[in-house]
Amino acid sequence: MSDNLSSKNVVLFGAGPMAIDYSKVLKSLGANFTVAGRSREGTEKFQEQTGIAAIPHGVSGWKKKGDTKAEYGIIAVSCEALAATAIELMDAGVRKILLEKPAGLTTQQIHAVCEHAKKVRARIFVAYNRRFYASVTEARKLIGDDGGVQSFNFEFTEWCDQVEEKLKHSDTGKNWFLANSSHVLDMVFYLGGEPKELHSYTAGGNYWHPTATVFAGAGITHSGALFSYQANWDAPGRWGVEILTRKHRYIFRPLEKLQILKHNTVSVEPIKIDDQLDLEFKPGLYRQTESFLNENPNAPLLDIHKHYEKIITCYEKIIRQKTQC
């Protein structure tokens, strides 16, 4: 249990799988928390699965209960409801919020959350938990020991045949790049550095994600590291990241695992990492939640304003055809 977390009053919004994962972490951390979901059916199911009572009807239901002294809020609702719930929670007086990625379904929704946070002076962090993977933490240390990143490449292919039925009639499907692929992009640019220049190309598209289904591009970071990427949602593939230094190639495939390739060999070796928390809980979630509640100034939590800036300067350009910044 982390120090002093029993004195932290937290409200968790959501009753689905992600909220269940957060409840396991909060319980293990010893935090004092209340759970609120949207529907009565969802909250009853949540209680069946966790043994924890949940209040129905979202923020309004929580306010009616009268227990609104929470200092911290964690929002783990559907993508469609993220932005509206964040604004409602700020209006209810909560000023420290961990908001599940991508913080809204559209750029406009995320911008609205940013503006409201400025107005009421709230601190909102976007919960990209892969920043807290044991594999990423270890890689950051090793990359520093090697003298920094020279180049990197990554792939964010999505398995469309597995998600098509669920997404084809939803707004989430139309924004699947932001809703899901941004996991990879946030992680890789956290490791490799933020883009200074980016050249991007797209092709394809389907009826539920018409923008594109084939992506390729390259660029350079502010520190001078070169990078390239590709993804083809119409073909077989998987998420993957490779970070190259003068001494080593670090491979994340899957992202939870860290492998290394050394000079003058084709043998890829696993790197031993302390991933006990990533095995016990949803990977990255324990350290992320702990850092948020402890208000750790050195933790790699992503401020929502920086997230919005990255969407405007990078993500939107990646999904546009033959775009250059």
Bridge partners (DSSP) of residue 100 are: 127
For 108-177, strand residue ranges (E) read: 123-127, 151-156
Domain 132-281+303-324 coded CATH 3.30.360.10 = yes
Query: Domains of the chain: which residue ranges?
Result: 5-127, 132-281+303-324
Q: Is the pLDDT of residue 1 over 60?
A: no
Q: Reduced to 3 states, what is the DSSP secondary structure of residue 229?
A: strand
pLDDT band at 3 (very low <50, low <70, confident <90, very high): low
Q: Is the pLDDT of residue 103 over 80?
A: yes
Look at residue 66 in the predicted model and tell me its pLDDT: 64
Q: Is the pLDDT of residue 51 over 80?
A: yes
Which DSSP state fits 178?
Answer: I
Looking at domain 5-127, its CATH architecture is 3-Layer(aba) Sandwich (3.40)
pLDDT band at 325 (very low <50, low <70, confident <90, very high): very low
Contacts of 209 (CB under 8 A, 6+ apart): 160, 167, 173, 174, 176, 177, 233
Q: Is the pLDDT of residue 223 over 80?
A: yes
- pLDDT, mean over the chain: 93
Percentage of residues in the chain with pLDDT exceeding 70? 96
Edge-to-edge, what's the strand order for the sheet holding 323-324?
268-270, 259-262, 248-252, 239-244, 151-156, 226-232, 214-221, 195-203, 323-324
Give 45: exposed, middle or buried? Use CB within 10 Å, 0-12, 13-18, 19+.
middle
pTM, 2 dp: 0.93
132-281+303-324 matches 5-127 in CATH topology: no
